[in-house]
Amino acid sequence: MSESVIIVNNLTKVYPGGVLAVDHISFEVKEGEIFALLGPNGAGKSTTIGMLTTALRPTEGEAYVGGFSVTREPAKVRSIIGVVPQEFSADEDLTAWENITLIGYLYGLPRDEVKRRAEELLQMVGLYGVKDKKVETFSGGMRRRLEIAMGLINRPRVLFLDEPTLGLDVQTRAAIWEYVLKLKKDYNMTIFLTTHYLEEADSYGDRVAIIDRGRILVIGRPDELKKSVTWDTVEVEVTGPEDTIRKALSGIRQIKEFTFVDGRLVVKVSDGPLAIPQIVNALSSMGLEVRKLSMSRPTLDEVYMHYTGRSMREEFISKEEAFAMRRTLRRARS
Amino acid sequence: MSKIKTPHLHGLWALTNRELKKWYKEPVILILSLIQPILWIGIFGKAMNLANMFQGASISIPGLTIPRQIIDQIGNLVLKETFGTTDYFSFLAVGMLSFIVLFTSMSSGMTIVWDRRLGFLGKLLTTPVPRGSIIISKVLASIIKSLAQATIVLLIGVLLGLRFSFSIAMPAAFLLMYLTLFLLSFGFSSLFLMLALRSTRWETQMAIMNLLNMPLLFSSNSFYPISYMPWWLKPIALANPLTYANAITRWALIGVTPGVSIMVAFAYLVAFAMLFAALGITLSWRFLSL
Ligand SMILES: Nc1ncnc2c1ncn2[C@@H]1O[C@H](COP(=O)(O)OP(=O)(O)O)[C@@H](O)[C@H]1O
Ligand SMILES: [Mg+2]
């Protein structure tokens, strides 16, 4: 069994002014795992990362990263982690090269080593060609890639990524994920990330924790989470009397319920791939012809909805708008 | 994982260098910051030269013509009595050295606010660089900027007619000048960084600067000597570090008799610098955060 590289115990943050941003959360992250913290705007994701990366002091509770306490041994924690913050953190007035080497020196790395790593990392994220350009000329995707490179200069054991793909277009998001997966594979790095993209948490997270209003609602592998609260949906186009269909399906254990919608049969089942052949067989044996069949699997949004009664998708729209506005403001100001 | 040295000095120099790069790569800001002291020298030192009030005219009262030389002599006596020198322009120009140091040091607080707003500080706080180094690097950068800008003001002063009259050997005089300005910048940079430790709004920081800069300037001997101040201003001027910096630099460079002993003035500046540096660094260790 692999070890826990992050251990979080009743971690709590109350901001001055009384906002309870993170409310007694506890979880563990295993070595080499991609752990995704998924939740809507204001759920407390950045605050959690802030505390785990020692930038924020917890109000209550404790967390250990790589065996070091974030409150009592912050310097040790800092030396083994890499952080890619939600907000761009590179200095706009400096070049990509100046930015990444600066961070290298802050880790106390020798000059030659800093240069070697900076070169290697900028190559990896495809920014070596523009290394001497000022960051203010970079696009959002380039900035994010630079931030990731900067977060890796100390070869961290644990990499924290706060919404690494926020506000990026689909291709750039895919490219960023390629890097992240490569890192995990090449360095066996543990990756702790937050995201608001359900699909990303679903397809890249080894485990997902859903956070809402400062509380963790559920933790697990994405497929387990979905299975635990919801069903696959099988839609069948079949002609025949409803009674006959009802009779045909009555013996299949995986079926939770079924309804008729616009002449189509909509079946909720616990395990789609297993249930489909049985449904087809049962209908055929009654002499009914299946003309078309499709299956849809649940997303993490259904899981989120199950726990909160709200859909996460809707809440993200405002977040993206707010972000776009902030960026425009920042551009205008500089 | 490779061996990692203690990040103290590496980080300190890298951070200082960053601040300096942002400064010398942006010559517009550098030049803009020089305009004000030069304007003061120009307006008060040349156009409205106070010395002209005492010099250069002869008075003719019918039946009694006082020759110009005598008027000048009396004028010079009065000037000497008032400013400690007959050369008001030089008096003012040297006073502008501490002024540019004050203004340059003040703006160091702004850099923390910007670093916080633009996310750079957040990143810094997750690296192992000690909190104290973040502040010390800003103080160092601010001192280097201040001394460089003071040198430019001094050169411009010389171009416009500043005349030296050293009280001690020239190298020693310049050394003393730089030491004095160093201490002044050390204290003021620490003070204004301290005020910005938790500030998230540059407007607040701006307001603090604007609230303090002119009063600090005019409650010092930068423009005229303390003895000519109203009684209520005198104690303030005597507490103002600018007063002591000016006393030392004017004594060393243009031979103005100081109102206090040079030793006392220097000790005062050392105390001022140490007090605020210690406070600033201690507080930053405790309070510097997002
Ligand atoms: N510096 C702060 N001061 C006060 N409240 C804050 C601060 N930062 C965040 N919050 C509040 O804490 C809550 C959680 O914020 P955050 O951790 O940024 O959420 P997320 O990253 O999931 O969007 C929100 O209600 C937010 O308004
Ligand atoms: Mg966030």
What pLDDT sits at residue B50? 57
For residue B141, being part of any structural domain is answered with yes
For residue B220, what are the domain limits? 2-55+66-287
Most B CBs within 10 Å, among A46, A80, A106, to test the B interface: A106
Contacts of B125 in chain A (CB under 8 A): 54-55
C-alpha of A18 from chain center? 28
Indicate whether B161 pLDDT > 80. Answer: yes
CA of A167 to the centre of ligand 2 (A): 12
**Residue B35 placed within a domain:** yes
Question: Residue A54 in contact with residue A70, Cβ under 8 Å?
Answer: yes
Considering only CA atoms, which of A37, A30, A55 is closest in space to residue A158?
A30
Let me know if residue B167 belongs to a domain: yes
CA distance linking residue B246 with residue B97, whole number of Å: 8
Which residue among A15, A87, A162, A215 is best mutated to probe the pocket of ligand 1, counting the most ligand atoms within 8 A of its Cβ?
A: A15
* B215 lies in some domain: yes
Instruction: Determine contact, residues A77/A66, Cβ cutoff 8 Å.
Output: yes
Q: Which residues of A touch B (CB under 8 A)?
A: 50, 53-57, 75, 78-81, 83, 85, 87-94, 98, 101-103, 105-110, 113, 150, 154-155, 157
Q: Reply yes or no on whether the pLDDT at B2 is more than 50.
A: no
For residue A250, give the amino acid letter: S
Record: contact A106-B10, CB cut-off 8 A: yes
With CA atoms as reference, report the closest residue to A116 among A128, A130, A134, A132: A128
- Alpha carbon distances (Å) from B12 to A25, A224, A319: 36, 49, 37
Element (H, E) at A195: strand A190-195
Nearest CA in chain B to A52: B126
pLDDT at A333: 46
Pocket probe for ligand 1: among A46, A47, A212, the residue whose CB has the most ligand atoms within 8 Å is: A47
Indicate whether B84 belongs to any domain: yes
**Residues whose CB is under 5 A from ligand 2 (ion)?**
A 45-46, 86
> Residues B189, B105: contact at Cβ < 8 Å?
yes
Give the span between the Cα atoms of B246 and B96, in whole angstroms.
9
| Cα–Cα dist B8/B137, whole Å | 11
pLDDT, position A60: 96
Q: Are the beta carbons of A78 and B126 closer than 8 angstroms?
A: yes
**Residue B93, domain member (yes or no):** yes
Q: Kindly determine whether residue A106 and residue B7, on different chains, have CB atoms separated by under 8 Å.
A: yes
**Amino acid (1-letter code) at residue A312:** M
* Separation of alpha carbons B102 and B276, rounded Å: 14
Using DSSP, state whether B223 is helix, strand or coil.
coil
Total domains, chain B = 1
pLDDT value at position B47? Answer: 58
CA distance A175 to A198: 17
- Per the document, the length of chain B is 290
Residues of A within 8 A of B15 (CB-CB) are 102, 106
With a cut of 70, list the residues of chain A below it in pLDDT: 1-2, 313-334
Q: How much is the mean pLDDT over chain B?
A: 84
pLDDT band at B262 (very low <50, low <70, confident <90, very high): very high
A202-235 pLDDT, tens digit per residue, is: 889 999 999 999 999 999 999 888 888 778 888 8
Contact A94 B22 (CB under 8 A): yes
Report ipTM (2 d.p.).
0.79
CA of A299 to the centre of ligand 1 (A): 26
Question: Can you tell me whether residue B200 is helix, strand or coil?
Answer: coil
Q: Does any domain span residue B61?
A: no
| Any domain includes B60 | no
Q: pLDDT tens digits, residue range A220-273?
A: 999 888 888 778 888 899 888 888 888 888 888 888 888 888 878 888 888 888
